[in-house]
Amino acid sequence: MVPRRGPSPNSAGTLEPVQALLAVTVGGGIGSALRYLISDPLNQRMPALGTAVVNITGSLALGVLVGWYSSRDGGGTVRLALGTGLLGGFTTFSAWMAESVEAFDRPGRLALTVIAPVVGGLLAAWAGVRLGRAV
> What are the pLDDT digits (tens) for 56-65?
999 999 999 9
The residue count of the chain comes to 135
Distance CA 84, CA 78 (A): 10
Q: Per-residue pLDDT averaged across 47-71, rounded?
A: 91
pLDDT in the model for residue 40? 96
Which of 126, 99, 121 shows the shortest CA–CA distance to 53? 121
Q: How distant, in Å, are the alpha carbons of 41, 52, 56 from that of 119? A: 23, 11, 9
The values of phi and psi at residue 73, to 5°, are -90, 155
Q: Per-residue pLDDT averaged across 99-120, rounded?
A: 86
pTM value > 0.85: no
Distance CA 51, CA 43 (A): 7
pLDDT in the model for residue 73? 75
Query: In the predicted model, is pLDDT for residue 34 greater than 70?
Result: yes
Residue type for position 23:
A
Q: At 54, is the secondary structure helix, strand, or coil?
A: helix
Query: In the predicted model, is pLDDT for residue 5 greater than 60?
Result: no
Q: Per-residue pLDDT averaged across 47-59, rounded?
A: 93
Asked if residues 39 and 93 have their Cβ atoms less than 8 Å apart, the reply is no
Distance CA 89, CA 54 (A): 11
Query: In the predicted model, is pLDDT for residue 119 greater than 60?
Result: yes
pLDDT in the model for residue 9? 52
